[in-house]
Each structure stands twice: as C-alpha cells, then as structure tokens.
Structure 1
Amino acid sequence: MPELLALDNVTAGYGESVVLEGISLSMQEGDSLALLGRNGVGKTSLLVTLMGLTRLHGGGIRWRGRDITRMSTHERAHAGLGWVPQERYMFPSLTVEEHLTVVARPGEWDVRKVYELFPRLQERRANMGNQLSGGEQQMLAIARALMVNPSLLLLDEPMEGLAPIIVQELTRVIRALVVERGMSVIVVEQHARLALSLTKKAIVLDRGRVVHESDSDSLMQDPDTLNRLIAVA
C-alpha cells in the first residue's frame, strides 16, 4: 500500500515551548492508529501539529510523498486531512444541515450519506448547533469532518463525557468507517482498550516522545505493558 502520512523526527510546540520531541511515524492508505498515553503527554498536540496549528521546531511532515511541513491548515484540509477536535466547535447560528453543507467538498460523502450514518442528525437537521445534546454535537462534528471527504480522519477524544449508549453508537460508526470502508484514522482516546479495539496499530507517547509502537491486538493482549505505559487497570 502507498504511504499516506509520514512524520520524520518532528519536534513541535507552542511558541518557544517544545511539547513533541523527535516524533517519527508513518501510515499507509487504510491504516488505523490508536494514539495513547497519560494526560498531558502530547497526544492532542500531535493532532494539531498534523493540522499545522503548532510551531514546528524541527523535522518534517509528508502527505502522500509531498512535503506539507509549511502548508497552511486549510490547505491540509483540502489535501485530505479531516479533523474532529475535542472542543467540537459548534456554531450557534447554523443549523445541523448548514454545518454540513458549508464545508462540503466533492466526493463520496454528502448530506444523504452522513444522514444514513447518523439518522439522529437527519431528525435534528433544522436545529441549531447549540440546541443539540453533547452526543449529537459529537455526531455532527464527525459528520462535518466526513463532508470534507478526507483521506485521513483525526479523532480527538471522541467519547469524552458521553453517555454509554452514545459511546456504543459512535463506536459502531467508527468501526464501520475503519473496517467496512477502509478509512484511515488516528484516534486519541483515554479509554485505551476501546481505541485499541478500533485500530490496527498503536503508539504510546510519554513526555512528548514515542515510547511504544506495536499492533493494537498485541498491546491489547499484554495488560502488564498496557498498565505500565498508560496506568490501565
């Protein structure tokens, strides 16, 4: 499979502060990656670095063999990086359907298909963004990212603060995207076992560095290592 994304010895942070140090990783088309680690180790910073929102102190980023190190955020989105931020960023002045259509780009995903994936959004299509529950907002955030027709979907804590029934629904959706549609994803998730169950590969960060890299199944079957790296009981 051709290379989709590669980070070569990336060091990045905010201003003069370095958060990520010497990060190297690569993904092929159709790969799925769980990005794990304790709070504050740089997981979200890695995603926003991929979107061009941190200061790069060293290293480089390639997208399908092209150097995108200096590419702007909107150019990265147009190139095929889809980001679902932890904060969701709903617009109170836009309806559900307007959230979707305002970002739409040509491709497989359109309003009809995301409504098939999230029937609840179709029921709420005339509601404003701030009239949705937390779970519905998360569905809309994922659906909005799909409307960009990304080649790689970046999911930052998609299950945070959600009711168990919504977690089950979103787990089903993400698994369908990965397994049935072969979408490339990077998942940052505090529930390590859940993230591992959704992905093929895993990377664990500690203090801004990669300290473990393996396939997800192997890490799932090694509770001692998982507990040592992430403090999972």
Structure 2
Amino acid sequence: MADLLNVQDLRAGYGEAVVLNGVSFSLGEGQTLALLGRNGTGKTTLMDTLAGATRQHGGSITLGGVALHRLPSHQRAAAGIGWVPQERNIFKSLTVHENLTAVARPGPWGPQRVYEMFPRLAERKTNLGTQLSGGEQQMLAMGRALVLNPKLLLLDEPLEGLAPIIVTELLRAIARITREEGLAAIIVEQHPQAILAISHQAVVLDRGSVVHSGAADALAASPALLDRLLGVAR
C-alpha cells in the first residue's frame, strides 16, 4: 500500500520551544492511526504541526507527494488536510447549515451527506452554533472537516467531555468514515481501547518522541505493554 502521509525527523513546537524531537512515521492510504500518549507528551502539538499551526524547526511532512511543511495552514487544507482541533472552532454565530456550506469544497462529501451521517445536525440545521450541545458541536466540527473533502482527517480528542450515548454515536460515525468510506485519519484519544479497535496503526509519544509504533490490534491485545506505555490499561 502506498504511503499517503510521510513524516520524517520532525522537530516542532511553539516559538523557540521545541516539543517534538525527531518524530517519524508513515500512514498508508485509507488507514487510520491511533496517536496515543500520556498528557503533555506532544500529541496535540503533532496534530497542530500537521495542520500548520506551530513553528517547525526541522524535518519534513509529505501528503500525497505534496511537501506540506512548505505550505501555510490554509494551503494545507487545500492540499487535503481536514482538521478537527480540541477547541472544535466552529463558527458559533452561523447556523449549522452555514457552517457546512461556508467551507465546502467539491467532492463526495457535502452538507446532505453530513446530515445523513449525523441526523442530529439535520434536525438543527437552522440553529446557531451557540445553540448546540457539546456533542452536536463536535459533530458539526467533524462535518465541517468532511465537506472540505480531505485526504487525511485529523481528530484531536473527539470524545472528550461527551456523554456516553454521544461517544457511542461518534465512534460509530468515525468507524464508518474510516473503515467503510476509506478516509485516512489520525485520532488522538484518552480512551485507547476505543480508538485502537477502529485503527490500523498505533503510535505512542513520550516527551515529544515516538516510543512505540506498530499494528493497533497488536497493541490492543497487549494490556501489559499498553499499561507500561500509558498507565491506563486497567
């Protein structure tokens, strides 16, 4: 399988502070990668760096043959990055439908398909972003990334702080988007078993460096290793 994303010797951070030290990994077309690690190990910094929101001090990022590290963030979106940050960053003064149509790019994913994926949004298409629950805002943030018709979807803790029923709904949607629709994704999550179950690969960060890389199912089946890496297996 051809690599869609290739990250080599990446060094990045905020201002002069370097958070990521020599991070390297690759991701094949249509594959999902679970990005794991304890709090403060560089996971969000890596996602922000892929999206172009940090200062890169060295290394390279290539997506489908395009050198992303040479592009500003808005051009990375055009090159195929769909980013859902922790803050969600929806347009709260716009309606659900306006959020989706304002950024839509040509391709198979449009507002109607997002409504089919998330019926809750269809019911609230005329509601402002401020009138949505946290779970609905997360669905809208994902929908807004999808209508960009990306090659790679970045999801930074998409389940954080949500009710169990919403978590189940979002996990089902993420599995459909990645496993059934074949969209490549990188997912950061504090509940490793939930994400490992729908991922192909797993990368674990510690102190800004890769300390484990391998098949997601193998890591999920090794609770002792997972506990050693994350301290959360039990």
8 Å CA contact 2:66–2:79 kept in 1: the answer is no
Quote the residue 1:62 is aligned against: 62
Quote the residue 1:109 is aligned against: 109
Q: How does 1:32-111 map to 2 (within 5 A)?
A: 32-111=32-111
Structure 1 stretches of 4+ with a deviation exceeding 3 A read none
Tell me the alpha carbon deviations over residues 32-79 of structure 1, each in whole angstroms, 9 at most, x when there is no partner: 100000000000000010011111111111111222212010100011
Q: Cα offset for 1:93?
A: 1.5
Residue type matched to 1:38 in 2? R
Residue type matched to 2:28 in 1? Q
Structure 2 residue runs without a partner (length 5+):
none
- Classify the secondary structure of the residue corresponding to 1:214: strand
Number of matched pairs: 233
8 Å CA contact 1:11–1:59 kept in 2: the answer is yes
Give the alignment's TM-score, normalised by structure 1. 0.98
Identity %: 58
Quote the residue 1:129 is aligned against: 129
Q: Cα offset for 1:91?
A: 2.1
Give the alignment's TM-score, normalised by structure 2. 0.98
Q: How does 1:131-150 map to 2 (within 5 A)?
A: 131-150=131-150
- Classify the secondary structure of the residue corresponding to 1:75: helix
- Classify the secondary structure of the residue corresponding to 1:102: helix
Quote the residue 1:206 is aligned against: 206
Q: Cα offset for 1:3?
A: 1.9
Tell me the alpha carbon deviations over residues 61-112 of structure 1, each in whole angstroms, 9 at most, x when there is no partner: 1111222212010100011100001101132320000000000000000111
Distance 2:66 2:132 in 1: 39
Tell me the alpha carbon deviations over residues 92-138 of structure 1, each in whole angstroms, 9 at most, x when there is no partner: 32000000000000000011111000011010000000100000000
8 Å CA contact 1:90–1:130 kept in 2: the answer is no
Q: Cα offset for 1:198?
A: 1.4
- CA RMSD, aligned part only? 0.8
Structure 1 residue runs without a partner (length 5+):
none
Distance 1:87 1:206 in 2: 23
- When structure 1 is superposed on structure 2, of 39-48 and 89-98 the one drifting more is 89-98
